[in-house]
Amino acid sequence: MEREDSIFTILYTLCPDCRKARLPTAEGPIELPLEVVERVEPEANKVTITFEEELAGASRPEPAPKPVPKAERDRPNTAQLVKKVRLREAGICGNPGCRRRGKCHVHHLEFRLNGGKTVISNSLLLC
């Protein structure tokens, strides 16, 4: 059976101006040769995390003193946001004492109940 989607997914940052690519690793980002990006990109699933998405909500307000009414809370996680956070975190639990892979869920750092937004910068992968 032929597969529609690629089995390849890589996460890297690519500067739109200078076209420098960086690959996140446990030791920090490393520069990725552009020819590698150009070779893999046509066959890989492409997921774009924009700078605006990454920074949205980065300056979080102080937690609300009381719960925000349900009608005023932000939406739950979308499938697209979950996919992006899992890719960004390389499928590894964000708890430094755990670092487990698989069966992780995307959680809000600032809970929706307290007014937290459903954005990448307010999300963390936890088991």
Residue 52 covered by a domain: no
Same domain, 66 and 41: no
* 13-27, 63-77, 111-125 — most confident range: 111-125
Whether residues 7 and 39 share a domain: the answer is yes
In a domain, 51, yes or no: no
pLDDT value at position 1? 45
Residues 37 and 76 placed together within one structural domain of the fold:
no
DSSP SS3 for 41: helix
pLDDT digits (tens, 9 = 90+) for 54-105: 666 566 556 556 788 888 888 889 999 998 888 888 888 888 778 788 788 9
Q: Are residues 28 and 85 in the same domain?
A: no
* Number of domains into which the chain is organized: 2
Structural domain harbouring 107: 61-127
125 shares a domain with 71: yes
Quick check: is 93 in a domain?
A: yes
Asked if residue 9 belongs to a domain, the reply is yes
Residues 75 and 127 grouped into a single domain: yes
Q: How much is the pTM?
A: 0.61
- pLDDT at residue 106, rounded to an integer: 93
Asked, for residue 55, whether it belongs to a domain, the answer is no
Report the pLDDT value the prediction gives residue 74, as an integer from 0 to 100: 86
Within 8 A by CB and 6+ apart from 72, the residues are 115
Residues 81, 122 share a domain: yes
Residue 21 lies in a domain: yes
- Per the listing, tokens 């890589």 go with 10
Q: Is the domain of 12 the same as that of 71? A: no
pLDDT digits (tens, 9 = 90+) for 21-36: 887 776 777 888 888 8
d(C-alpha 127, C-alpha 121), whole Å: 18
